[in-house]
Amino acid sequence: MAATRLPGTPRLLRALNDRAALDLLLTRGPLTRAQLGEMTGLSKVTASQLVERLEERGLVRRVGEQAGGRGPNAQLYAVTPGSAHVIGAEVGPDGVVAACADITGTVISRVEQSTKDTDDPVGVVHNAVVQAAGEAGADMSSVRRVVLGTPGLVDPQSGEISFAHDLPRWHRGLLADLRRDLNIPVFFGNDVNLAAVAESSTGAATGVTDFALVWIGRGVGLATVINGRLHQGATGAAGEIGYLPVGGAEVPHNASRRGVKGAFQAIAGADAVKAIGKQFGFRGAEAADVVRAAVAAGPAGEPVLDELARRLALGVAATCAVLDPPLVVLAGEVSRAGGPALADRVEREVAAITLVSPKVVVTGVASEPVLHGALRTALDAVRDEVFGSTTD
């Protein structure tokens, strides 16, 4: 009996080989045709055809030569940076910070736009995106995706945001308005979830498939990564740990109303951190300032860290008792200020009050994790689009 030929198989194999080669050029490039052949297992002829195909589509370019033995030098190839661009942004109550990256992941511009003197979110985002692209020297037609990191819930089905209490002008229907204005695919991402993306990509959770990230800053939040994927829940509310009922705080029965604090937020948010510091003689303009001063004070500041760790452990323990992750990352301004001294205390407290004992560490992302998570999210999607269409 003759073997059944699967339709489209050669095209599928070409697409898989192209994507493998492009990924190698991103992570290990520049490379010669021979090196690509060795790394992908392709013959010299097939590797040469692959490079020619990608070069014709403008996805790779020659960037130099590599001297060898006899014969002419081998051409070196790399991914063409300008073949596509993405823009990521972090949206807060005072402004928008946006950055533009090329498809290699190189960040080539960063801009800020104030939101204090306007009630037009579409205009603010428009200006930030256009300015970021302009300063990067990128034509708007090459910008393939914009990801905006915001507080609040992001519906996994519609992509709309809600309960963004810090952004009163940001409402349902805004996503369509932004897409219509920019004529570019625009997506919202929860800010803490995007911080977890950055942590997984370049921070303390690199290479870890299961972890929880607890954000302690002006507010408190949680992101969980399970089997390498963000868990958002049915409505996008997974991780709203500020509303976790905990002992020692009043549990509100009108949590969805603007201005209502959840129980865990009440005992571990910025106002609570300031109150803890004041109790032990430490004050600051921001909660992170209080914690930083306590750390710098040595033994005199230890009661502040002990009490804060005891409270944070209630939320961390509740999360870990359900999910049992091997790693918990403390992120946000307060967590960074507390550093290892705070993380170690939380780790001990969690182990003391539950049957789980995850490793607790401070964020490894140096700055602007939400912005970098937005860029990474946009890049992953655009690379799939651009690199997955090489045989169209």
DSSP string for residues in 282-313: ---SSHHHHHHHHHHTGGGGHHHHHHHHHHHH
**Per-residue pLDDT, 255:** 58
Q: How many alpha carbons fall within 13 Å on the CB side of residue 339? A: 10
DSSP state of 217: S
Q: What angle do CA 383, 387, 392 make, to 5 degrees?
A: 135
Residue type, 200: S
Written as six digits, the tokens of 143 are 């910008």
3-state secondary structure of 257: coil
| Residue listed under structure tokens 């219509």 | 180
**Per-residue pLDDT, 246:** 86
Q: How far apart are alpha carbons 40 and 17 in whole angstroms?
A: 7
Helix boundaries (H) for the chain: 9-28, 33-40, 44-56, 121-135, 174-182, 191-202, 263-268, 270-279, 287-296, 302-323, 333-353, 369-387
Q: What number of other Cβ atoms are within 10 A of residue 169's Cβ? A: 13
Q: How many helices (H) and strands (E) would you count in the chain?
A: 12, 14
* Mean pLDDT per 10-residue interval, the chain, length 392 residues: 52 84 91 90 89 91 80 86 96 92 96 84 92 96 96 90 75 89 95 97 96 94 96 92 84 64 90 96 96 97 98 96 96 97 98 96 96 97 84 56
- Region class of 207: left (phi > 0), else alpha (psi between -120 and 50), else beta: left
Helix boundaries (H) for 99-172: 121-135
Give the torsion through C-alpha atoms of 334, 364, 342, 319, to 10 deg.
90
Q: How many alpha carbons fall within 13 Å on the CB side of residue 3? A: 3
Helix boundaries (H) for 61-186: 121-135, 174-182
Containing 220, the helix (H) or strand (E) segment is strand 220-226
- Please tell me the pTM assigned to this model: 0.90
**Per-residue pLDDT, 1:** 41
Exposed, middle or buried, 204 (CB in 10 Å: 0-12/13-18/19+)? buried
**Per-residue pLDDT, 390:** 59
**Which residues are bridge partners to 65 per DSSP?**
75
**Per-residue pLDDT, 114:** 87
**Which residues are bridge partners to 64 per DSSP?**
76
